[in-house]
């Protein structure tokens, strides 16, 4: 029996629903990305825009884990340079990530996106303590999970925390949101003639010490063969585009 297509569009012209390339991602948001145009703190407008973009992923069925940085508030290394004991500075940096995660959760919930905050440092009454199996349960049920307080240890960064959590929760990819379009052969903020890579091997990223991500984090993803995509979060729609398979930013992988 033949069926009659009453639609004015032919089959090939029909709009298709976006299909994600990934089932589960780990998104790293730097603290500074939350500052927007200001010098310090959190810009609610930026949070709302990010919530919108994250909501688009949830809308097409992607499970989203997020590691938030704290560099907009405190960085241990900077506090140390100013005279503070390093471990105390790192503890302050990790607590800063919890504040950012609370602000992000607030923005997500205002956009009706169910979300949870977990902390690597126990903080009873404020946020849940990180537990891998519980986190995976939340992700599977469609909740966005914000992993805060980094790894819980001083001398690490939230880039390392993002790679660690990405591996732990068995994400398909770690997606690092930055202010630049990807990984370049040198810092594009400092050098106008910097050239962008579309893709890069872990070993090249390590050998060339390309400052976009710390070397501990790159070693970790290399050892566990976890792909990382670095992209520009200030480019509207870029996050959704890369998740549906678009060529955004730079892919760091085994090569």
Ligand X SMILES: O=c1ccn([C@@H]2O[C@H](COP(=O)(O)OP(=O)(O)O)[C@@H](O)[C@H]2O)c(=O)[nH]1
Ligand Y SMILES: Nc1ncnc2c1ncn2[C@@H]1O[C@H](COP(=O)(O)OP(=O)(O)O)[C@@H](O)[C@H]1O
210 binds, among ligand X, ligand Y, none (CB under 5 to 8 A by kind): ligand Y
Q: Can you tell me which of 119, 151, 160, 178 binds ligand Y, judged by CB under 6 A?
A: 178
- With contacts defined by CB under 6 A, how many residues of the chain interact with ligand Y? 16
- Element spanning 128, H or E: strand 128-129
> Measured from the CB atom, is 20 or 53 closer to ligand X?
53
Site stretch for ligand Y (CB under 6 A), options 122-130, 135-143, 145-153, 181-189: 181-189
Q: Can you tell me which of 210, 217, 221, 239 binds ligand Y, judged by CB under 6 A?
A: 210
Q: Is 119 in the site for ligand Y (CB under 6 A)?
A: no
Burial of 56 (0-12, 13-18, 19+ CB in 10 A): middle
User: What residues line the site for ligand X (CB under 6 A)?
Assistant: 30-32, 69-71, 75-77, 89-90, 93-94, 96-97, 150-151, 153-154, 156-159, 161
> Measured from the CB atom, is 161 or 240 closer to ligand X?
161
**152 appears as a binding residue in the annotation:** yes
**28 appears as a binding residue in the annotation:** yes
Find the binding residues for ligand Y in span 57-76 (CB under 6 A): 69, 71
Q: Can you tell me which of 183, 200, 220, 243 binds ligand Y, judged by CB under 6 A?
A: 183
**30 appears as a binding residue in the annotation:** yes
Tokens at 210, concatenated: 């390309």
Alpha-carbon separation of residue 83 from 65, 101, 205 (angstroms): 35, 27, 32
**187 appears as a binding residue in the annotation:** yes
The CA distance from 102 to 117, in Å, is: 7
> Measured from the CB atom, is 73 or 242 closer to ligand X?
73
The CA distance from 251 to 210, in Å, is: 13
For residue 171, which of 191, 204, 144 has the smallest C-alpha distance? 144
For residue 109, which of 63, 51, 70 has the smallest C-alpha distance? 51
The CA distance from 1 to 21, in Å, is: 35
The CA distance from 155 to 29, in Å, is: 19
181 binds, among ligand X, ligand Y, none (CB under 5 to 8 A by kind): none
Q: Can you tell me which of 21, 132, 186, 247 binds ligand Y, judged by CB under 6 A?
A: 186
């Amino acid at each position: 029996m033949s069926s009659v297509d009453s639609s004015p569009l032919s089959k090939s012209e029909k709009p298709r629903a976006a299909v994600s390339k990934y089932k589960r991602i780990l998104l790293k948001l730097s603290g500074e990305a939350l500052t927007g145009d200001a010098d310090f703190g959190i810009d609610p407008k930026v949070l709302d825009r990010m919530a919108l973009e994250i909501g688009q992923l949830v809308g097409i069925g992607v499970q989203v884990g997020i590691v938030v940085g704290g560099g907009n508030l405190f960085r241990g290394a900077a506090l140390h340079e100013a005279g503070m004991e390093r471990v105390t500075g790192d503890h302050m940096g990790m607590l800063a990530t919890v504040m950012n995660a609370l602000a992000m959760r607030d923005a997500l919930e205002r956009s009706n996106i169910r979300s949870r905050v977990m902390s690597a440092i126990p903080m009873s009454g404020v946020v849940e303590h990180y537990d891998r199996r519980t986190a995976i349960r939340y992700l599977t049920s469609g909740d966005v999970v914000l992993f805060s307080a980094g790894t819980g240890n001083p001398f690490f960064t939230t880039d390392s925390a993002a790679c660690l959590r990405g591996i732990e929760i068995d994400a398909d990819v770690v997606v690092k949101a930055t202010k630049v379009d990807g990984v370049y052969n040198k810092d594009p903020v400092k050098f106008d003639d910097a050239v962008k890579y579309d893709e890069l091997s872990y070993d090249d990223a390590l050998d060339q010490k390309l400052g976009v991500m710390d070397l501990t984090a790159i070693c970790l993803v290399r050892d566990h063969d976890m792909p990382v995509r670095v992209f520009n979060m200030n480019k509207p729609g870029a996050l959704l585009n890369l998740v549906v398979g678009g060529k955004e930013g730079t892919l760091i992988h085994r090569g």
